[in-house]
Amino acid sequence: MTRTISAGLLTHLQGETTTLATCWKITRTDSVVLGFTNHDEDIVSDGVTYIAATGFIPSDVALKDDFSVSNLEVTGVLDNSYITEADLMNGLYDYAQVEVFLINYENTAIGTVFLNGGYLGEVSVSKGQFMGEIRGLSQHLSQRIGEVYSPTCRANLGDSRCTKDLTAFTFNDSIDTVTTNQIFYAGSLNQTPGYFNYGKVTWTSGNNSGLSMEIKEFLTGVITLVLPMPNNLQVGDTFTIVAGCDKQFSTCKDKYNNVLNFRGEPHVPGQDKVLETAGTFNDE
């Protein structure tokens, strides 16, 4: 976004006194728009109401000209009317777009001054508060482009490069016993231990209907998720479960019979060969 300023706002900034407030605009990936401000009253600008939410505290805005990543943070109190713990845990704020700007709250018609922007990165929740990391647009410049050699597969199971049809590896079931929101038992799943490791559960009913979570461990009927579900699990909740892949060559060959589409280099020499010197001998 370009940083421009209107003549009216420039005149205001050059005056002896100013009536400025900082606004934060959050646009989620589902197109929901939320606005917050550090002013003591709500501000309306371009059809968005910026809430003077108590406890919404942004960090200082630091701008850099060396293309390094500018990270900001925002801390706030969870509020059922605006930002809820369930929405955060459900991933509704993942990769949300954030814009930070200054505005004259006495005359919003004269425009704004864009300060910084980016995307919401890591979000943590603790003791009724949330903390979000705002990653600057230069974050994209630090991302790796292309691929490097790896002994494990770089494709995701069932994607366009893997091409494996997962119909035979997908099952529908329901919960028989709940231990926690992360561990539950489904007695009909009698596959060998580890069969669903790295797989995924998608809920088709219950409090978490429509949500998905990766599987950390499977021990014949007992499923441990990577993270707890945000809403309580209940006996009878139905789900779809898909087998997982640890991206090893042997798994691709023996479990999925998909070696031709393996996207790794399992026979590339490892670190021991890289560090081997002329004085290294094999005693065999």
- pTM > 0.85: yes or no: no
Domain membership of residue 256 as a residue range: 167-261
**What CATH number is given to the structural domain containing 222?**
2.40.30
Per-residue CA distances from 254 to 39, 150, 198, 248, 267 (Å): 62, 20, 16, 10, 17
Domain match, 248 and 199 both: yes
Tens of pLDDT along the chain (284 residues) come to: 556 788 988 898 888 899 999 888 889 888 889 888 888 899 999 999 998 865 556 655 555 555 554 556 666 655 556 777 777 777 788 888 888 889 999 999 998 988 877 887 777 777 667 777 777 665 556 666 677 788 899 999 999 999 999 999 999 999 999 999 999 999 999 999 999 999 999 999 999 999 899 999 999 899 999 999 989 999 999 999 999 999 999 999 999 999 999 999 888 877 777 677 766 555 54
- The total number of structural domains that make up the chain: 2
> Which of 88, 122, 139 is the last residue in one of the domains?
139
C-alpha distances (whole Å) from 108 to each of 8, 60, 173, 247 are 10, 23, 55, 55
**AA letter at 202:** T
CA distance 120 to 76: 14
Look at residue 177 and tell me if it is in a domain.
yes
The HSE-up count of residue 147 (CA atoms within 13 Å, CB side) is 10
In-domain check, residue 87: yes
In this structure, the answer to whether residues 195 and 234 fall within a common structural domain is: yes
Q: Please report whether residue 156 resides in a domain.
A: no
Kindly state whether residue 237 falls inside one of the protein's structural domains. yes
The CATH number of the domain holding residue 84 is 2.30.110
